[in-house]
Amino acid sequence: MRYYRSDEPKPATIAEALRAYGNDNLTPMVRQFCEGKPATRKEDMISRLLSLLEGDNLRGTFAKLEEREQAALAETVWSDDASFNKARFEAKYGRRPLPKADPDDAGLSYMHSRQRSVTLLELFMPQDSVPRDLQLRLRQFVPRPAAAKINTIQSPPEDVEIPTSVWNEKQKKYDRVTEAVLLIRRDMERAALHDVLAVLRLVDAGKVAITDKNRWPTPSSLKQIMAVLDGGDFYPDENADADKNKQPWEVEDKPGPIRAFAWPLLLQAGKLAQVRGTRLELTKAGKTALAAPAHETLAGLWEDWLFGDVLDELRRVNVIRGQTGKGHRYLTDPTERREAIAAALSECPVAQWIALDEFSRYARAAGHEFGISDDLWTLYIAEQQYGSLGYDGCSGWNILQFRYLLCLLMEYAATLGLIDVAFIRPAGARRDYGDMWGTDDLDFFSRYDGLFYMRLNALGAFCLGLRETYAPPPPEARQILNVLANLDVVATAPLSPADRMLLEAFAERTGDHVWRLHRDRILSGVAKGRNIQELIVFLESSAGTAMPQPVVQFFADVQKRAIALSDLGAARLIRCVDSALAALIANDSAAGRCCSLVGGDMIVVPAKDEAAFHRAIRKLGYVLSRPSAGS
């Protein structure tokens, strides 16, 4: 049997495909599918096989296929390249296309010998593809396959059953049992609307330090960020002291920060923060985002992350080594992986919970597959020779693509509020890697292994472009402040670190729970790029009642002062020899567009118009002299 190279064009006609076979391949096909005395000459065998696929016989031959074979042929006939995709078929239909095929066969069964039986489907799809002429004839009556469907549930269960082992003292062995583990549910929409402003304020306060090499947040910065997140990170910041009395084998691997890690990278990808020395600082766009609608900022950050290059999320699956150096050259483009996952996410129904295993299945069934590396031998676990992912069974979708998918969804989509999540701790959550070399001591393969369910919410639908508008949920009614007529702001309940930072950016702290609104301090914040409206909205939502009239008047006065003067940029002041020359230049059709008369013999030229001004005065017969040294 002839096999085609991947770069070699496949036969355009079924006749060409059959002629590529040798007699030892054609003979069993003729004996199984053709009636009468078997032909012996190659052309005769091809002619008899072709007769099964021509005219009215084609429908009859198609009808002899089993149901799943018909489905496999339909998927191939209506695919763009008329090639059979085994993984996609199995994900969509949950079974192999050939019931008679060898269970260990990696694809469609081929005829390796005279003794081996062949399936009728192989006649339609030589080399796992349908030749063009046959494809056109089949499309006339083979129905287009239905689109892949995703299964949803109204609500996640209370717990999940996790395989574990218990010691059987009587039989002196471990028994395999399951343990019910309570699911943690987090609704991320409201949290993200809060967190994006909280982290922007933290950066503005100069409290987010980063590493030199990767531009990742430092451990101390991660703790600062976790402290301002709504509800904290997905997993608590475990107390290391609690592990001091445990033996090494009793200490679980800790998942560590997830949302706290993502935010500084998201802000960098969205150009809302930039590196200044060892810390992040807000850009002009970042300062603007402090007063912009939070949902618009989140939508922009998601879009920027999809096409950004700040981080390949695979790096966060720390157990997979070989991602740097030589191995990095073979990794696929992360933007293509993200686009595939985002496309699958955009096809999920809004407000319906979906199991992550189901979402992974749907992504493949709907054609949103993606690759991780073009050379899997460069990736490995623990040790490159024995732990290479190039060995059979070591780099399946569940090991690479699924873990990448979990990371993108839990660390970035959920952090930005696109999806709500239900999860458990990752230790022991998924044991599908247990047979791989070098994984015996791993409590989990990735810190995201505990993610079991997700739900696309209204914010996610907006960020993915499924809805044109978005109405944020009303602020939670909370009375944590009293705004007094004397301009004092009194905290009546504990304030979050983010709330304290906002107050202290505009007000002077005068007591343990009291701040005083000062015009100079507020105007100083405005001069640094802060927006007064940010403070007003915070005070109104936190007080629960209308602000006293003196405070309203105070803010009205400060806002008028904040916009009374406008910075128009740098300019050059030029003195003319007399007022007549100044008037001549200012009224010239060309030079007048580049300068303004400021009285008497003085004109001013904006820095952006200097080059045009020089050209204009040269045409008038003048030149701008430079001041001499010491003058």
573 three-class SS: strand
Are both 377 and 514 inside the same structural domain?
Answer: no
* Positive/negative CA dihedral, 53, 82, 360, 348: negative
pLDDT at 37 (0 to 100): 82
Does residue 455 sit in helix, strand or coil? Answer: strand
CA-to-CA dists, residue 314 to 244, 324, 343, 519, angstroms? 31, 11, 19, 49
Taking CA atoms, 508 is separated from 197, 494, 550, 556, in Å, by 21, 18, 18, 19
For the chain, give me the number of helices (H) and strands (E)? 23, 17
Domain shared by 273 and 340, yes or no: yes
Residue 627 maps to a domain: no
The reply to whether 364 and 440 lie within a common domain is yes
Same-domain check for residues 454 and 578: no
Q: Which of 564, 590, 607 is the last residue of a domain?
A: 564
Residue among 139, 126, 222, 234 at smallest CA distance from 187: 234
Report yes or no on 151 lying in a domain. Answer: no
Q: Are residues 384 and 259 in the same domain?
A: yes
Residue 146, in any domain of the structure: no
Q: Of 538, 564, 590, at which residue does a domain stop?
A: 564
Q: Are residues 559 and 583 in the same domain?
A: no
Q: Residue 166: inside a domain, yes or no?
A: no
> Is residue 156 included in any domain, yes or no?
no
Contact 481, 543 (CB under 8 A): yes
Q: Which amino acid is at 603?
A: I
Whether 475 is covered by a domain: the verdict is: no
CA-CA-CA-CA torsion sign (59, 61, 65, 69): negative
pLDDT for position 477:
64
Where in the sequence is the domain holding 516, given as residue range(s)? Answer: 481-564
Q: What is the pLDDT of residue 528?
A: 75
**pLDDT less than 70: residues of the chain:** 1-9, 98-116, 237-253, 475-477, 628-631
Q: Are residues 84 and 38 in the same domain?
A: yes
d(CA 233, CA 223): 10
Q: Are residues 427 and 321 in the same domain?
A: yes
Residue 171, in any domain of the structure: no
Please state whether the predicted TM-score (pTM) of the whole model is above 0.75.
yes
| Residue 99 confidence (pLDDT) | 53
Q: Do residues 22 and 87 both lie within one domain?
A: yes
Given 463, 494, 520, the domain boundary residue is 463
Q: What is the pLDDT of residue 631?
A: 47
Closest by CA position to 50, among listed 143, 138, 134, 140: 134
Do 225 and 357 belong together in one domain?
Answer: yes
**Residue 588 to residues 477, 571, 600, 623, Cα–Cα distance (Å):** 62, 19, 16, 15
Note the residue count of the chain.
631
Tally of domains within the chain:
4
DSSP helix/strand/coil, 163: strand
HEC secondary structure over 373-417: ECCHHHCEECCCCCCECCCCCCCCCCCCHHHHHHHHHHHHHCCCC
User: In this structure, are 384 and 444 located in the same domain?
Assistant: yes
Same domain, 553 and 587: no
- Cβ 10 vs Cβ 4: under 8 Å: yes
Task: Establish if 274 belongs to a structural domain.
Answer: yes
